[in-house]
Amino acid sequence: MAGGLVGCELRPRRGRCGLQASRAADRDVAAEAAARIPKPPAQSRRRLEAAGRWALLTLVTLLSFATRFHRLDEPPHVCWDETHFGKMGSYYINRTFFFDVHPPLGKMLIGLAGYLSGYDGTFSFQKPGDKYEHHSYMGMRGFCAFLGSWLIPFAYLTVLDLSQSLPAAVLSAALLIFDTGCLTLSQYILLDPILMFFIMAAMLSMVKYNSYADRPFSAPWWFWLSLTGISLAGALGVKFVGLFIILHVGLNTISDLWHLFGDLSLSLVTVGKHLTARILCLIVLPLVLYVAIFAVHITVLNKSGPGDGFFSSAFQARLSGNNLHNASIPEHLAYGSVITVKNLRMAIGYLHSHRHLYPEGIGARQQQVTTYLHKDYNNMWIIKKHNTNSDPLDPSLPVEFVRHGDIIRLEHRETSRNLHSHHHEAPLTRKHYQVTGYGINGTGDSNDFWRIEVVNRKFGNRIKVLRSRIRLIHLGTGCVLGSSGKVLPKWGWEQLEVTCTPYLKETLSSIWNVEDHINPKLPNISLDVLQPSFPEILLESHMIMMLGNNGLKPKDNEFTSKPWHWPINYQGLRFSGANDTDLRVYLLGNPVVWWLNLVSIALYLILGSIIAIAMQRGVQLPKELEGQIQVLLRGGGQMLLGWVLHYFPFFLMGRILYFHHYFPAMLFSSMLTGILWDSLLRLCAWALASSPLARGIHPMGVLSLLLVTAYSFYLFHPLAYGMVGPLAQDPESPMAGLRWLESWDF
């Protein structure tokens, strides 16, 4: 053996052993060289894939911006809710206080966009159809279109991260690019594109920080986690609907933490760090930003405006131009004083009367008494003794203060009728008594007498303006003056119902305070001491917004919709125009996109249930399908959860609802559709692997969906960009054949 080896060593080039040794050495050198040099094909493939992802992202982003900014200036007049949100942008520019049922961030951003683009805040936004003329409105529309354009790249990146599939990402993006409804909502001065921007940003950020789960506490992980919190604050700061995406992120976070807690390879200290990071970024940071939004809102809007009457007297005292700002009024209530009486329940307003009678058949046909949210001369009342008509302001008579337990009359200053009640039923609230104005020149009857009481006080104490919480108890019936908060019909000028309730339970709706107080015989005191602190303002603002949201009811002949209408695209909403000479814009989803989304939700539920049952029964799935099924279950499950959370809560709401409320849910259903059909086509290709058509099933299927969606957009795009000429009901109209449902009234 040794000799053989020696022989081989002495004759390396001629013998068999020398040749083998030479080849072995060559292989070792080659292997060593290959280990040092990256394999070009794999590296090129990765670069090509990355380039493809960026190229497609650029393409969908350009298409998104192009479709959203095309004909953005048309029509050049106020459309639909631009009336409200454009006007609110003007209020910010003019620093005029107003009230809205939504948090302030969206309107602040609209106002800022208008200000930076040269809009001076002077356009009235009186009603839809008003021409903008020389006023600069494109900055505000452009800002909303800019944010609306980002929905598509956000959807692309979210689906790409969840599925690792370019076709799924492109299909999801295409469904949103070619949806006429999303396009329409993005082109006007509305809160919807701003809200959806923050919802999608929160979703993308959450998916991104979850993708760094293997690198916790790294810089990218902190960045995306913090950005999730910022986006949550933004969504909630625009509308309370932002609570739904907060719930979505919250459920994912709880699941994530529960998984970490069960990972025994992690110490409790590490789990505690994860918990702390999420508390800081997903709770503390959004709360701080949300409160900061309100701080800016309150600081900017420091002038008296149309929203004053919704808020307490103490709040109004901080507004420049309000009659309570830097005011000095008599401190204690006296007979002969001219006063306004304000209900302490938020968004109820002032005790009010006017020269209109209750209609025939509704109680006694006497003068109406209501509550009114705005400052008005018909809110003024004179407080008098119940048993005398002498003028308490006669200089020869001494001042007599009103005290807790006194019997008084309230005479309406403008009509000289007394506040009155009797056993007739209230117009809207059963078992409550009607409240009216009665008498001539202050002379009425004993049903005009009221006992004034200060809550939690004893008999004899004086009544303080603004500070004393009072109740007015009717002497004849024992009922308590209050407001039901119900809106009267048009005969009552859509003001709020005032009743006298026989149920003496103390509620805010039956508690009042005296606000304005005019009495030349009394000395004045400054009201500066009454201005509330910021926490009090924050609490009051939220109470009023919630009451306002709950109180939103449809007006006569106003079009509304029901939640079950939305996914089926049952009926749209007219944005602009009503005849063949107007540019008509109609909010309606692309029916191909919406019905495909609806089918996809049903298919996903069926397919997901089948897979879940099979796995529970121990069926072994093919290994080559495991990854695709995980994508379908996890990625699709995230989208389904988002759709459920942004849709089903509307079934529980008592407020007025519109078609546009569905669009955040529609974003999630479109992303679910992209993930589902990409997975289904891949599964079909696998099932037909033996067929020569197998390789073409997936690409041809995706391409077909893209082409059908694009063609349907071509057919329906006049709805979004505007159409003129014959109405769709006219056979000569190019849109006549596209009225696939009778309920579409474009």
Are 480 and 486 in contact, with CB atoms under 8 Å apart? Answer: no
- Decide if pLDDT at 25 tops 80: no
Are 449 and 407 in contact, with CB atoms under 8 Å apart? Answer: yes
Q: Could you give the C-alpha distances from 524 to 326, 395, 400, 474, 520, in angstroms and in order? A: 12, 18, 16, 31, 9
Three-state DSSP class for 642? helix
The pLDDT value recorded for residue 188 is: 96
Which of 292-306, 602-616, 623-637, 719-733 shows the lowest mean pLDDT across its residues?
Answer: 719-733
**Helix-helix angle 636-647:591-616, to 10 degrees:** 120
How many whole angstroms separate alpha carbon 48 and alpha carbon 461? 85
Q: Smallest Cα–Cα separation from 713: which of 181, 178, 183?
A: 178
**Burial category of 145 from C-beta neighbours within 10 Å (exposed 0-12, middle 13-18, buried 19 and up):** buried
The pLDDT value recorded for residue 35 is: 46
Query: CB count, 10 Å around CB of 118?
Result: 10
Q: Smallest Cα–Cα separation from 84: which of 55, 30, 124?
A: 124
Q: Distance between terminal CA atoms of the chain?
A: 98
Residue 417 in tokens: 């009728």
Three-state DSSP class for 612? helix
pTM of the shown model = 0.83
* CB-based contacts of 630-635 (< 8 A; 24+ apart in sequence): 631/162, 631/163, 631/164, 631/165, 631/675, 631/679, 632/607, 632/608, 632/675, 632/676, 632/679, 633/608, 634/162, 635/159, 635/162, 635/163, 635/675
Q: Smallest Cα–Cα separation from 418: which of 432, 427, 408, 429?
A: 408
Which of 20-24, 164-168, 477-481 shows the lowest mean pLDDT across its residues?
Answer: 20-24
In 524-671 the beta strands, taken as DSSP E runs, fall at: 524-526, 573-576, 585-587
The pLDDT value recorded for residue 441 is: 85
- Decide if pLDDT at 379 tops 60: yes
Phi, psi torsion values for 329, nearest 5 degrees = -135, 165
Identify whether 395 is preceded by a cis peptide bond (ω within 30 of 0). Answer: no
Three-state DSSP class for 218? coil
- Decide if pLDDT at 2 tops 50: no
DSSP secondary structure, 319-386, as one string: SBTSTTTT-EEESB-BTT-EEEEEESSTTT-EEEEEEEEPPTTSSS--EEEEEESS--GGG-EEEEET
How many whole angstroms separate alpha carbon 656 and alpha carbon 487? 14
**Burial category of 53 from C-beta neighbours within 10 Å (exposed 0-12, middle 13-18, buried 19 and up):** middle
Residue 67 in tokens: 């479709």
Query: CB count, 10 Å around CB of 159?
Result: 31
Are 342 and 313 in contact, with CB atoms under 8 Å apart? Answer: yes
Among 43-52, 125-134, 246-255, name the most confident range: 246-255
**Percent of all residues in the chain with a pLDDT value above 70, rounded to a whole number:** 91
- Decide if pLDDT at 41 tops 70: no
3-state percent breakdown (helix, strand, coil) of the chain, nearest 5: 50, 15, 35
- Decide if pLDDT at 348 tops 90: no
- The answer for residues whose C-beta is within 8 angstroms of residue 17's C-beta and 6 or more apart is 4, 5, 7, 8
Are 343 and 371 in contact, with CB atoms under 8 Å apart? Answer: yes
Q: Containing H/E element for 535?
A: helix 534-550
Residue 194 in tokens: 């701003």
Are 364 and 422 in contact, with CB atoms under 8 Å apart? Answer: yes
**Burial category of 267 from C-beta neighbours within 10 Å (exposed 0-12, middle 13-18, buried 19 and up):** exposed
Phi-psi region of 365 (alpha: psi -120 to 50; beta: other; left: phi over 0): beta
Query: CB count, 10 Å around CB of 49?
Result: 11
Higher per-residue confidence, 688 vs 282: 282
Which of 226-235, 290-299, 407-416, 547-556 shows the lowest mean pLDDT across its residues?
Answer: 547-556
**β-pairing, 433-438 with 480-487?**
unpaired
**Percent of all residues in the chain with a pLDDT value above 90, rounded to a whole number:** 59
The pLDDT value recorded for residue 745 is: 82
- The answer for residues whose C-beta is within 8 angstroms of residue 44's C-beta and 6 or more apart is none
Q: Containing H/E element for 726?
A: none
Phi, psi torsion values for 524, nearest 5 degrees = -100, 155
- Decide if pLDDT at 292 tops 90: yes
- Decide if pLDDT at 371 tops 80: yes
Q: What is the mean pLDDT of the chain?
A: 87
Q: Could you tell me the pLDDT band of residue 504, with boundaries at 50, 70 and 90?
A: confident
Q: Quote the DSSP letter at residue 632.
A: I
Render pLDDT for 7-24 as a digit per residue (tens, 0 to 9). 333 334 444 344 344 444
- Decide if pLDDT at 557 tops 70: no
Among 164-168, 195-199, 734-738, name the most confident range: 195-199
The residue type at 484? S
How many whole angstroms separate alpha carbon 473 and alpha carbon 143? 54
The residue type at 58? T
Render pLDDT for 243-257 as a digit per residue (tens, 0 to 9). 999 999 999 999 999
CA angle 279, 282, 288 (to 5 degrees): 95
Exposure string of 692-715, with b = 16+ CB inside 10 Å and e = fewer, is eeeeebbeebbeebbeebeebbeb
Q: Could you tell me the pLDDT band of residue 603, with boundaries at 50, 70 and 90?
A: very high
What mean pLDDT comes out for the span 59-75? Answer: 95
The pLDDT value recorded for residue 506 is: 66
The pLDDT value recorded for residue 158 is: 97
Higher per-residue confidence, 42 vs 613: 613
**Helix-helix angle 636-647:192-211, to 10 degrees:** 150
